[in-house]
A and B are shown apart, each in its own frame.
Chain A
């Protein structure tokens, strides 16, 4: 536990961090005999940028999948907005205001950027398939409203020029941005980013960092991200959780984590005996 647990503080650059939004309590996740996550607890405060780091196979993505409801842990509890969350399917979690991007881009390659981002609005659409097909009254109005939200996101992420381009024709860095756009279109309270900078060049990383900070700043979205690039993690995040072999080995501000001997060992490697 560290000084910032529990939230309610102001960061050095003047952002207000609110109460605890999500709390993971003693999470253990097993796949058969393999223990992916072992008894991990940590929290995420409202308005915060929270990073999860660790070497390959540490269980970071599994942790993100627990948050997003894709995996249900065998032990432990997930608390969201002060309430214990029952077992949920991913779409139910999404309706609670949690959106995510994927480590390996998961977009519809043949569809345009606009259509892809529109799919992010799915959880907000109420009209049934039939009225969607007839396309009169409610369905039409709903689409217009959703399109408005989507256009604001497109404007925000500066992807107007590729609005009508099929995603398959875009370079990797832009696809990552489109994925972020789709997640943002859901107007999430908590945004989960699984390696948003993976495979990017320095310039693309700078752009993406800027967008992540802007999203957090403009919309007040809470962000939990997994990232390998230490420079990015240390610059962006307010607090960092470090995992290794499914265990939590560090938790705190970037500076605290950087000076943690266990973390240094995990990254530089020591003899396991």
Chain B
């Protein structure tokens, strides 16, 4: 049973971990930040002093146990310390996304009854002031960057350093110690608001047990050590950053580095050379595109050298990383490549020292994933949620693939429901949603199992979890086989030519698809091949474009067919749409996610043609221009048949 675990050696709160770190690594850098062009650093002893001063300062403001303290700003050591200072006085830190608008901030501040706010600068303070009249609960605000703050009324506003000074001078140390002594493993460590893609954000309450058990297990999983370095650049309100930059940092004692500004992130990354690194797929994608564009501009010899060695890396790199056997010749050639291409490239990207790298959040394209792996960067995938204190599954070294999210993290149990939804149970499972018992009950059952909302399955043999789609989008086809549109759509979208794909097939005989071309990629191709076109519509309907799209669809079919469970999702027929799916027309959400229901209604005639076998379909579609005017476009679309592949029977059937 998960709750049987107890903290090792009294290390059951962050303040106690801090004290342990002071004893063990007192003189070792704990936090660094680049400011005024130099990396400023603080040792664990200095950090402990700073945090204590702030905690004493908070006491002088009258912070009570159980109060909520909102923290808004970008990754800065001072703000990380305020998390721990809040905990020391028995309050609950609540980080907010710094790019939220005032309205969103107002919702969270109101929902958690925040009495205090610690904000980075004038911008954040102004946002709170904007909604202040609706939030009578806020008593005092603390700011870090004094710029522009001089003229503000300071009766309920204090500068961070001033508060620390006050704490050092008049703070009640006895009271602080009294509060510290009381804290237990099951007290709340932090409250994080989920970004809220559906409905209002929910406050996820995580206990010391959740955070410390998770940090302990995940640090052991990847052998994280006190001499590791990370770059903290992802939003502080995101659970991952809390686990990496506070949880694991406090558990292992490694050093957290904060960039000078968001714009300098890449050069700071290069200067620090982190050994443990996390980035969402988008970041890896942009970096790869940058590299490729710069290579296009390089001289012919350099270009040849790059492509020649990258081809070799693709062949043997991943195997070498997984410790598999490769021929001596290949090994030597890879070493030569390391000297001439991979090494310098990794250095440019700032990945020279990366020992453990993770990506998560959405599907990563296999080419992108393989590119980094083939360079010898140990990039892995993990699958997690705020409610799980991040880790549900992760890939162990040597078992890394782009299509799975790995095996259950230590201490995590997995269960797949009949409808394919993934459930988990672990020491990291959240305590409850704040002031929302209804949602808590519908997400977490009495035995502690939590629904992820994602559908997936555990692969036989390897034991790896594979996520296929959001559970509510997964359906059955007419013959009863599994229908997971997003799984196929993601595969289609990995082609640079395909901007968007929508797959249909729920309760149908076979699957069909709408495709949108990517005007940049396809337009570029048309230019290079002297293909003239005057409009998006004309380019999308060009026979050669259709042929390319068909080859993409067939390639995807071939790869889908390899998967016995999902092979029914092969796309039999498709059309390339005459217009780009657009949020202005309601076809996509503002965050550019496909709205299936609306597309099904709006393009019902085209979907009918996909299933009645007709070779083409004439249609008229209403469009909304950016200024709000409406118009319509007429088009005759060719419906193409794609080759499908034989379904490989599973032995057990």
Which of A's residues lie within 8 Å of B, judged by CB?
Answer: 13-14, 114, 147-148, 151-152, 154-156, 158, 160-161, 163-164, 214, 217-218
| B261 adjacent to chain A (CB < 8 Å) | yes
A227 to B264, CA, bound (A): 32
Which residues of chain B from 1 to 54 have any CB-CB distance to chain A below 8 Å in the complex? 35-38
Of the residues A114, A148, A158, A217, contact of B148 by C-beta under 8 Å: A217
CB atoms of B36 and A217 under 8 A apart:
no
B150: CB under 8 A from chain A? Answer: yes
A161-B261 CB under 8 A given contacts A147-B37, A155-B36? yes
Closest B-chain residue to A162, C-beta based? B263
- A266 nearest CB across to chain B (Å): 36
Contact of B264 among A147, A151, A152, A161 (CB under 8 A): A161
Chain A residues contacting B147 (CB-CB under 8 Å) are 156, 214, 218
Q: In the assembly, what is the distance between CA of A166 and CA of B356, in Å?
A: 35
Contacts of B263 in A (CB 8 A): 160-161
Give Cα A161 to B260, complex, Å: 9
Which residues of A lie under 8 Å from residue B148 when comparing CB positions?
A: 214, 217-218
Query: Please, which residue of chain A has its CB at the minimum distance from the CB of B265?
Result: A161
Can you list 9 A-B pairs, Cβ within 8 angstroms, ordered by A?
A151-B36, A154-B37, A155-B36, A156-B147, A160-B37, A160-B261, A160-B264, A218-B147, A218-B148
In chain B between 141 and 167, which residues have their CB closer than 8 angstroms to a CB of chain A? 147-148, 150-151
CA distance A14 to B153 in the complex (A): 12
CA distance A154 to B37 in the complex (A): 9
Chain B interface, number of residues (Cβ within 8 angstroms): 13
Interface residue from B150, B151, B260 paired with A160 (Cβ < 8 Å): B260
Residues of chain A with a CB closer than 8 A to B35's CB: 155
Chain A residue nearest to B151 (CB atoms) is A14
Interface members, chain B 252-272 (any A CB < 8 Å): 260-261, 263-264, 267
Q: Which residues of B contact A (CB under 8 A)?
A: 35-38, 147-148, 150-151, 260-261, 263-264, 267
When the two chains form the complex, which single residue of B37, B151, B261 contacts A158, counting CB atoms closer than 8 Å? B261
Which one, A156, A163, A214, contacts B37 given CB within 8 A?
Answer: A163
CA distance A151 to B261 in the complex (A): 14
* Measured CA separation A155–B260 after assembly (Å): 9
> Distance (Å) between the CB of A166 and the closest chain B CB?
15
Chain A residues contacting B150 (CB-CB under 8 Å) are 217-218
Query: Which residues does chain A contribute within 8 Å of B37, judged by CB atoms?
Result: 114, 147, 151, 154, 160, 163
A214 CA to B260 CA in the complex, in Å? Answer: 21
Q: How far is the CA of A236 from the CA of B147 in the complex (A)?
A: 19
- For A148, list chain B residues within 8 Å (CB): 36
For the complex, give the distance between the alpha carbons of A214 and B146 in Å: 12
Within the complex, the shortest CB–CB distance from A43 to chain B, in Å, comes to 26
| Minimum distance in angstroms from A160 CB to a CB of chain B | 5
- Bound-state CA distance A109–B264 (Å) is 22
Which of A148, A161, A163, A164 gathers the greatest number of chain B CB atoms within 10 Å? A161
